[in-house]
Amino acid sequence: MLDIKLLRTTPELVRENLRKKFQEHKLPLVDEIVELDRQSREARTKGDALRSRRNSLSKEIGVAMAEDRKEDAERNKTLVAEMAQELANLEALEEKLSAEIREKMMVLPNIIDPSVPIGRNDGDNVEVERFGEPTVPDFEVPYHVDIMERFRGIDLDSARKTSGNGFYYLVGDIARLHSAVLSYARDFMIDRGFVYCVPPFMIREHVVSGVMSFAERENMMYKIEGEDLYLIGTSEHSMIGKFIDSILDEESLPQAWTSYSPCFRKEVGAHGIEERGVYRIHQFEKQEMIVVCRPEESPEWFVRLFRNTVDFFRSLEIPVRTLECCSGDLADLKVKSVDVEAWSPRQRKYFEVGSCSNLGDAQARRLGIRVKNKEKGNYFAHTLNNTVTAPPRMLIAFLENNLRGDGSIAVPKALRPYMGGKELLECPA
């Protein structure tokens, strides 16, 4: 959510931001909010003046009673009573206007960073850098489900019977590989100074509204029927919610956390759920990074976060690239975002395995996450998040890049301690 002062003083900046994000249909909101804000401040000014006058009259009543001027006292009492009703009306109006302003403000996107490329959708995202040499082996790389099935490592048919499309059973070495990747990711981030956390996997509606836009919620979140609870789509949701309505000491910043959770997503929209495959699914597990910091620190942390993901994948010998998200591909709360994409030898192209986002003070403003500063006054923190790894999607890149011509899977050195020392996974007889 934007600072209302931004709309008061530089409404054209907000309009230009809407144009850059190709959200011209929201342009009328700017004038609507400015007018509602004017009415709200006018009501507040009237209320303040009325309260001051009421306080003066109340003192005069005491003086008149002490001097036995009963008529003056009664007249002032009548005026005070009339003012009380007028004040109640003004306070009700202020509350109504404030709610309308907040509702409209929640729809406006964050101001994007000047470095963000302008484009309508993910087709306009810009490659930044490649890490590792993408290679194509001299043998055919099967579809990832076929590889898993050769290892008797996945059962989609049973999952359809119990849960429907978008779910899976992982079995044997593939299931162990899935857990090993997550355990390695946890320790990888702990070694980089992040605090490990397992958060709640359900959050309340006001936290959902604080961490994401309404459109994202409708397309992603599962609501628990009859309760004020949603299943999280990523641990970022509950980790940022951890700081709701808090005032943090500057000395405690930055706070860098790495969290594990299962993730649940409806995946409504153009992409849809795969009937056969584990790239886009309803349920998966993820290791995440979350940072809460001072505003001036967030650009540096942004780079550090996506570099962590790059380093993680390279430690598993998987080539990756970074992709700068264009203005139209940015979710409304994001200031800047970079996707990390892994190389697919089978498809001979890169595909998304993680996304790093700087949200500025948008989440902090919605959730009331402030930083204490005696000299400058309290201010809103900046929040950032990034995916370390999200199997089973990550397993697609892992299996394809570590597949050998005889059908076995090489286990990179970094992962071997989590796989019982195995250097190679071989198909069962």
Q: Which of 54, 265, 321, 370 is catalytic?
A: 265
Residues 117 and 124: beta-carbon distance below 8 Å? yes
Q: Which of 42, 60, 297, 352 is catalytic?
A: 352
Taking CB atoms within 8 Å and a gap of at least 24, the contacts of 235-238 are 235/199, 235/259, 235/260, 235/261, 235/263, 235/286, 235/288, 235/290, 236/211, 236/288, 236/290, 236/385, 237/203, 237/207, 237/208, 237/211, 237/212, 238/199, 238/200, 238/201, 238/203, 238/207
Measured between alpha carbons, how far is 312 from 319 in angstroms, rounded to an integer?
11
Q: Which of 288, 370, 393, 400 is catalytic?
A: 393
* Residue 265 annotated as catalytic: yes
Q: Which of 321, 355, 366, 370 is catalytic?
A: 355
Q: What is the per-residue burial (b if ≥16 Cβ within 10 Å, else e) of 376-413?
A: eeeebbbbbbbbbbbbbbbbbbbbbbbbeeeebbbbbe
Q: Which of 150, 160, 192, 280 is catalytic?
A: 280
* Residue 186 annotated as catalytic: no
Task: List Cα–Cα distances, 188 to 183, 191, 284, in angstroms.
Answer: 9, 5, 20
> Which residues are tagged catalytic?
265, 280, 352, 355, 393
